[in-house]
Structure formats: structure tokens, C-alpha cells
Amino acid sequence: MKPSALAAALLASAAFSPLAVHAQSQTIQFAMVQTAGTNCPGFTPSATVTDHTFGEFENLEVVVKGLPPNTGFDLFSIQVPHAKFGLAWYIGDIVTDSTGTGVGNFVGRFNRETFIVSLAALPSPNIFHSPPAVLPQSTTGAQVNPVQIYHLGLWFNSPSDAGKFCGNSTPTPFNGEHNAGIQILNTSKFADNAGPLLGLQ
């Protein structure tokens, strides 16, 4: 193939290559703040969230600081930032280092299209029993029309860790086994019906 023909072929194929996705890229950044009513002496929890879309999916980077060291936390996408949070989806875990800093990178849909829907209440397996889970699992499922979930919340993975560092060992269902600690960070600087994920087209 002649060099000019080769160049033309490469330009034509670029429209179908992964590089073409960058034309749709967009990034937003926002803060998570300490949950109102929590008191953790000696700690100043905060987080910076960078949400970057590649057009077909997003990368959500959450950098937490000022948290207790060497401690596990659970990140959720939630309907509203404060109790009782509405519908919620478990995104993943963040573990802090010896300085109380942690980083989580999560791939999925984290934009204005983030939602939960169930067209019928269908049977669900009872995997995590109560106790030790805080609440009994629903075995009947639930039916709900599409509900957008634009807020984020971060919970202590362990009630005992929350009690040790923040004096509140109240158990909550916000981890994979439904026996987490209290919420420590959220996106409550944004209105209930206008969470930060709404800002990414």
C-alpha cells in the first residue's frame, strides 16, 4: 500500500477506534463533606471526587483524607445524602493508609443516567442473615419505577471502628454483609434532588 493510501486508511479507521471516544469526554469534580452530627476527635474527614466520562462509561475517583488510619469504608450511590438515604447502590470499598488517606477508582455509570429500576417484585435469596446483618434481607424483592440516584455516601465498614474513632457504634446495613457502621462523608452540599452526578451529561 502506498504511504498516501495508508494514511487515508488510518484516518478513516480512526473514527472507529477507542481514541474517537475522547471527543465525548467530560470531567466534573466535587467535594464530599463530613456527615452532620458526627464527631470524630482528632480527625477532619473530607473527600475529593473526580468523575470522568468516556462516553460509554465513567471512571469515578474518590480521594479521602483526614479519616482514621488503616480503616475500611464503603461507598454508596444514594438517592439523598442524609438519613434515610432513599434507594442506594453499593459501589465499592476504600481502605485508608497509615495517614488516613485512601483512594478508590470505580468504573460504571456515574452520570445523569444513574438510576435504579425494578419492573416486578421478584424472589431474592436470603444470603446474609439477620443477625449478624443489621436488617433482615427482603426475600420478596421490590417493584419501583426508575429512580435517579445522584448522591454519594461513605460509611465505616465496621460499627466497632466507628465507635472507636467517632464514639458512635450504631450498626447500619451499608456494606456488603449489611452490618456496617455510621456514615462519615456525603454530598450534602448539593440539594436532595440535584446530587453532583446529575452534573455529568
Q: Give the distance between the most distant pair of CA atoms in the chain.
A: 73
**Contact yes or no for 103/62 (Cβ under 8 A):** yes
**Domain of residue 31, CATH code:** 2.60.40
pLDDT confidence tier of residue 20, bands split at 50, 70 and 90: very low
Task: Give the residue numbers spanning the domain of 86.
Answer: 21-114+149-199
What are the two backbone dihedrals, phi and then psi, of residue 22, each rounded to the nearest 5 degrees? -60, -20
C-alpha cell at position 119: 419492573
Residue 122 within any structural domain of the chain: no
Average pLDDT (169-184) is 98
Residue 178 within any structural domain of the chain: yes
Residue 159 within any structural domain of the chain: yes
Residue 126 within any structural domain of the chain: no
pLDDT confidence tier of residue 19, bands split at 50, 70 and 90: very low
Q: What is the pLDDT of residue 16?
A: 40
CA 149 to chain CA centroid, nearest Å: 10
pLDDT confidence tier of residue 99, bands split at 50, 70 and 90: very high
Question: Which pTM does this prediction carry?
Answer: 0.87
Q: Is the pLDDT of residue 9 over 70?
A: no
Counting the structural domains of the chain, the total is: 1
Residue 138 within any structural domain of the chain: no
Determine the Cα–Cα distance for residues 179 and 172; give it in Å rounded to an integer.
6
Average pLDDT (45-58) is 97
Determine the Cα–Cα distance for residues 143 and 170; give it in Å rounded to an integer.
29
Residue 139 within any structural domain of the chain: no
Q: Is the pLDDT of residue 75 over 90?
A: yes
Q: Name the nearest CA neighbour of 74 among 165, 161, 199, 167.
A: 161
C-alpha cell at position 159: 460499627
- Mean pLDDT of the residues in the chain: 91
pLDDT confidence tier of residue 25, bands split at 50, 70 and 90: confident
Model pLDDT for residues 115-159, shown as the tens digit of each residue: 999 999 999 999 999 999 999 999 999 999 999 999 999 999 999
pLDDT confidence tier of residue 24, bands split at 50, 70 and 90: low
Q: What is the pLDDT of residue 23?
A: 47
Torsion-angle region of residue 42: left (phi > 0), alpha (psi -120 to 50) or beta?
left
Average pLDDT (184-193) is 98
Residue 190 within any structural domain of the chain: yes
Determine the Cα–Cα distance for residues 146 and 162; give it in Å rounded to an integer.
33
Q: Is the pLDDT of residue 101 over 60?
A: yes
Burial class (CB in 10 A: 0-12, 13-18, 19+), 12: exposed
Residue 105 within any structural domain of the chain: yes
Q: What is the pLDDT of residue 201?
A: 87
What 3-state class would DSSP assign to 120?
coil
Q: What is the pLDDT of residue 58?
A: 98
Average pLDDT (57-78) is 98
